Amino acid sequence: MSERGIGIAGLDHVQLAMPRGEEALARMFYAGLLGLREVRKPRALAGRGGAWFVAPGAAVHLGVEEPFRPARKAHAAFVVDDLEAARQRLATAGVETEPDPTAGLIRRCYVSDPFGNRLELVDGRDAGFSARRPDRHPAARPRREPRSPAG
């Protein structure tokens, strides 16, 4: 522990809600489309329904919630290798992406899973943007005017 808190060392997983009995749809989206790998839930939790998915540096637990309410503002943010390639693959699968409303702060977009949960996709070139100082974001840097040939 430190003087500044309890000593959080990282984020283990994000939990999102899903409706009961929709595990096959979760697998099609999270494993089939996004490319996460499903891992077996511990035996003590398996009877509750839902599914767990992992990727390097990310884990998502989908848990059954009754009554079900999707997270439309709260969200998980995944880093993708190539945002445009990800958007194209999603479009090919018929999944709409929502452009970044900050228009240039970072390269990202939003998508909804089959249950309506909001997910953020961040281009790998902008990974870790949350930890940067605000004046270090690309959009916060003033643009320098090119020098004229005379001086």
Q: Which whole number is the average pLDDT over 127-138?
A: 73
CA distances from 16 to 80, 90, 136, 150 (A): 19, 20, 31, 59
Q: Give yes or no for a contact between 40 and 70, defined as CB atoms under 8 angstroms apart.
A: no
Q: Is residue 9 part of a domain?
A: no
Residue 7 lies in a domain: no
Residue 103 lies in a domain: yes
Quick one: three-class SS letters along the chain?
CECCECCCCCCCCEEEEECCCCHHHHHHHHHHHCCCEEECCCHHHHCCCCEEEEECCEEEEEEECCCCCCCCCCEEEEEECCHHHHHHHHHHCCCCEEECCCCCCCCEEEEECCCCCEEEEEEHHHCCHHHCCHHHCHHHCCCCCCCCCCC
**Are 98 and 49 a contacting pair, CB within 8 Å?**
no
pLDDT mean across residues, the chain = 88
Asked, for residue 150, whether it belongs to a domain, the answer is no
pLDDT > 90: percent of the chain: 71
For the segment 65-124, what is each residue's pLDDT rounded down to a tens digit? 999 999 999 999 999 999 999 999 999 999 999 988 886 789 999 999 999 999 999 999
CATH code at position 122: 3.10.180.10
2 lies in some domain: no
CA-based max dimension of the chain: 75
What residue numbers bound the domain in which 24 lies? 14-140
